[in-house]
Structures are given as C-alpha cells and as structure tokens.
C-alpha cells in the first residue's frame, strides 16, 4: 500500500490521502463526501449511534460530511471499484460464521 494512502472511499473504494478527507472534500472517483461516518474507523452499524466511540455526538446521516472530532479514516473500509464489498469486509463477515 502506498504510504500516502490513509483510507478508501466507503462508496467506490477509491484510495484516499489525508488531504482528501477535509470537511468539504469529495471522492474523486464518485463524488461522495469523504469525511463522513461511513469512512470512519469507529463506524459500526447496529451500535448506539452506529459508532463505537461513546463520546461522539449523534450524527443522523452517516453518508454526509460532518464535524465529528473523533473522525479517523479507516484503512480497511471501502468498496471495490465495482461497488462490491472489499475482500477484507467479505472475509470479516465470513469469519463471523465460522
């Protein structure tokens, strides 16, 4: 992995660098906001507020840019270029049922 890459777009899987994760930045691949819950390492659907950080304020739309101070990019999150879940995500789901 390129050292400049800190994460991947939650929607299209495009590589993201630190400068791509600003509050008003969007993914160059699909145009979706990059600094949003769906790109954060704390994002966990099904948890209270869909977040494992207990101090984070509630964010209603997880796909829109927000001002959360706990945001950290998740290098494992993101879809493949065709919109399918990444191999790491598929493997994690399969491991749950072993």
What's the pLDDT at 65?
Answer: 94
Asked, for residue 97, whether it belongs to a domain, the answer is no
Give per-residue pLDDT as tens, 13-58: 999 999 999 889 999 999 999 999 999 999 999 998 999 999 999 9
Report yes or no on 96 lying in a domain: no
Which pair of structure tokens corresponds to residue 33?
């906001």
Q: Which pLDDT does position 28 carry in this prediction?
A: 93
On the question of pLDDT at 82 being above 50, the answer is no
Domain containing 76: what range? 1-91
- Cβ burial of 49 (10 Å; 0-12, 13-18, 19+) is middle
Specify the pTM. 0.72
Q: Which two tokens stand for residue 26?
A: 């969007």
- Where do runs of H (alpha helix) occur along the chain? 87-96
Domain count for the chain, please give it.
Answer: 1
Structural domain contains residue 75: yes
Compute the distance between CA of residue 98 and CA of residue 94 in angstroms, rounded to an integer. Answer: 7
Tell me what the mean pLDDT of segment 8-14 comes to. 92
């Amino acid at each position: 992995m390129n050292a400049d890459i800190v994460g991947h777009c939650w929607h299209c899987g495009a590589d993201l660098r630190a400068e791509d994760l600003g509050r008003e930045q969007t993914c160059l691949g699909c145009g979706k906001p990059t600094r949003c819950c769906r790109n954060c390492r704390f994002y966990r659907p099904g948890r209270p507020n869909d977040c494992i950080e207990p101090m984070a304020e509630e964010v209603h739309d997880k796909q829109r840019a927000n001002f959360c101070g706990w945001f950290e990019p998740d290098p494992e999150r993101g879809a493949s270029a065709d919109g399918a879940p990444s191999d790491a995500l598929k493997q994690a789901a399969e491991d749950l049922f072993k």
